[in-house]
Chains A and B, each alone.
Chain A
Amino acid sequence: MPLLELEGVTAGYGSAPNIINGVDMVVEPAHSYCIIGPNGAGKSTLLRAICGILHPRAGRVLLDGEDIGRLRPDQILARGLCFVPSDRALFPAMTVRENLEMGAFLERDRRVIAERLERALELFPILRERASQRAGTLSGGQQQQVVLGRALMMQPRIIMIDEPSLGLAPQIAEQIFRTIAGFTDMGIAVLLVEQNVRRGLNAAMSGVVLDLGRKVLEGPAAEILTDPRLRELYLGRQAEAAAGSADDGRA
């Protein structure tokens, strides 16, 4: 049985039209997937519909075969699925240590929390130096490390990360992607959303391409990267748009 399975997931915000439409997908344990697609393809919405911040309007989200589509975010997290949003979402007035400890909010055993904190600090040595500093005063790259460290504190089986490179200098982004690529060695499945197609696909094992809320392509990351249809999707849209405006001109 796959770890996570999406069956025809359809979702949107408020009373607005659907953003994603009937997406099917399978996530295997300790495997990484990068979700790519042009702006407005519904990448972030897909992650939100899985983690419980948004409830799917139709379709099923199955974790270990159980439908989690109606559960609250904290109930889904307790089942081992963790979400890292693109705005980093840390607690600015708490220290780095408190932020990391909040990651284990659902764990009540203080000893277990201390052990996990130690492991997170080993993975991100810079955070040990900054442990007593307020998280809001850190640089973007350090904040991203806090958020990833915090996500690991729950010992998730799946981590979903939305645009980890947003607003980071290229070298820092490289470093973050290397860390993320290492998560699968720890037995964690990774779902990554990334604007930069090449960088995202290089960091993941499989690629999933969304366009206008539908899945249009899926396969090993290296194959997706060289697939001519991917180029068409990104460049073809512009050609269509150009043709469209030419039509308007004639009318």
Chain B
Amino acid sequence: MQWLQILVLGLMLGGVYAVMASGLTLIFGVMRIVNLAHATFILLAAYLTFFLFDLLGVDPILSIAITIPVLFLVGVGVYLVLFPRIENSPRFVESTVLLTFGLALLLEGTMGRTFTGTYRLVRPSYGVESFLIGDLYIPKGQLYALIVSAVLLLLLAALLYGTRIGGSIRATMQNRTAAQIVGVNVRRTMALSFGIGIALAGASGTLLSFLFPFFPASHWEWVPVMLALVVLGGLGSLKGALVGALGLSVVAAFVMSEFGPTWQPMTFFLALFLILLVRPQGLYGKPLEA
């Protein structure tokens, strides 16, 4: 029954991975921005959660109600300050890689200066407790994180498929010119989508804050993980992000139990290489136009 235990642990982390990846893929899908700073926003939310818990005693799961709107506003602000300037660049996608890389370094430095380099972990009681169902050991923190992630993803789906704003986001993802000519305010849609993507990063940061210890430079560990998740699913595809996240987190859990934790990060790099070799557009992505 050990395989079942590993499968369950993998799937539970997959929920949080899916929230991270959905924000990243949404930002790429709508704006063609490769956001290398995504994980620094995750850390920013993790720190916010840490201090809310440490100073005010706010439960980390409840603090999502704070980190989501705060990170949303941060995202909209960052978008409006940085991206309209390079909008008409003929090398837009490449420019976004450099721009967000610089942003990641800037945020990392600022966080290091403000929050120091100490490892932090939010420690609510459910961070160390578990349910025992038969032989199956289910960590409470991971279970709650999975439930919150599922709710967030359902809300995201409801937003995208059930609202006018969602319609304009999907339209802009599929064809920006077409969206423009049917009357979508594309600039506003892009600012909102960036905000939503960063808000999702914020939500996942809050969840990660009690699952993994973090310090200002630990966002680099998450960059290859997230890239593997979204590239497997197909950059820009939300369904792909979900499938990629659940699939790879289960594979990573099995790799960890078979070969030890040292090899776990390798899973994501190896996956990234294999996907790019075999099917560069990912499971649900469109092949790149020449």
Stretch of B75-83, B113-121, B167-175, B201-209 contacting A (4+ beta carbons < 8 Å) = B167-175
Number of interface residues of B (CB under 8 A): 17
Within 8 A of A (CB), among B141-179: 167-168, 170-171, 174-175, 177-178
Asked if B130 CB lies within 8 Å of chain A CBs, one says no
With A14-B88, A105-B168 given, is the CB distance from A77 to B175 under 8 Å?
no
Residue of B nearest to A94 (CB): B174
Which chain B residues border A106 with CB–CB below 8 Å? Answer: 182-183
Tell me how far the C-beta of A68 lies from the nearest C-beta in chain B, rounded to whole angstroms.
Answer: 14
Is there contact, CB below 8 Å, between A154 and B177? Answer: no
Task: Report how far A84 CA is from B182 CA in the complex, Å.
Answer: 10
Stretch of A1-9, A27-35, A85-93 contacting B (4+ beta carbons < 8 Å) = A85-93
Tell me how far the C-beta of B250 lies from the nearest C-beta in chain A, rounded to whole angstroms.
Answer: 28
Task: Report how far A94 CA is from B186 CA in the complex, Å.
Answer: 18
Asked if B180 CB lies within 8 Å of chain A CBs, one says yes
Is there contact, CB below 8 Å, between B174 and A105? Answer: no
Which chain A residues border B190 with CB–CB below 8 Å? Answer: none
Encode contact with B along A60-95: 1 for CB under 8 Å, 0 otherwise: 000000000000111001100011110101111110
Which chain B residues border A82 with CB–CB below 8 Å? Answer: 181
Residue of A nearest to B237 (CB): A93
With A90-B175, A92-B174, A93-B174 given, is the CB distance from A102 to B88 under 8 Å?
no
Residue of B nearest to A90 (CB): B178
Which chain A residues border B257 with CB–CB below 8 Å? Answer: none
Is there contact, CB below 8 Å, between A150 and B182? Answer: yes
Residue from the list B175, B177, B183, B187 in contact with A105, Cβ < 8 A: B183
Task: Report how far A228 CA is from B255 CA in the complex, Å.
Answer: 78
With A91-B175, A92-B175, A94-B174 given, is the CB distance from A105 to B182 under 8 Å?
yes
Tell me how far the C-beta of A186 lies from the nearest C-beta in chain B, rounded to whole angstroms.
Answer: 19
Residue from the list B170, B180, B182 in contact with A53, Cβ < 8 A: B180
Task: Report how far A89 CA is from B168 CA in the complex, Å.
Answer: 15
Asked if B196 CB lies within 8 Å of chain A CBs, one says no
Is there contact, CB below 8 Å, between B181 and A85? Answer: yes
Is there contact, CB below 8 Å, between A74 and B184? Answer: yes
Asked if A141 CB lies within 8 Å of chain B CBs, one says no
Asked if A103 CB lies within 8 Å of chain B CBs, one says yes
Asked if B5 CB lies within 8 Å of chain A CBs, one says no
Tell me how far the C-beta of A10 lies from the nearest C-beta in chain B, rounded to whole angstroms.
Answer: 18
Task: Report how far A209 CA is from B187 CA in the complex, Å.
Answer: 34
Residue of B nearest to A93 (CB): B174
Task: Report how far A85 CA is from B178 CA in the complex, Å.
Answer: 8
With A105-B167, A105-B168 given, is the CB distance from A73 to B174 under 8 Å?
no
Tell me how far the C-beta of A89 lies from the nearest C-beta in chain B, rounded to whole angstroms.
Answer: 4
Task: Report how far A103 CA is from B171 CA in the complex, Å.
Answer: 11
Tell me how far the C-beta of B192 lies from the nearest C-beta in chain A, rounded to whole angstroms.
Answer: 14
Encode contact with B along A39-77: 1 for CB under 8 Å, 0 otherwise: 000000000000101000000000000000000111001
Residue of B nearest to A83 (CB): B181
Q: Could you show 10 A-B contacts with beta carbons less than 8 Å apart?
A: A53-B181, A78-B183, A90-B175, A91-B171, A91-B174, A91-B178, A93-B170, A105-B168, A105-B183, A154-B182
Given A73-B186, A84-B181, A90-B175, 6 new contacts (CB under 8 A): A72-B185, A92-B174, A92-B175, A94-B171, A94-B174, A105-B167
The interface of chain B, by Cβ under 8 A from chain A, is: 88, 167-168, 170-171, 174-175, 177-178, 180-187
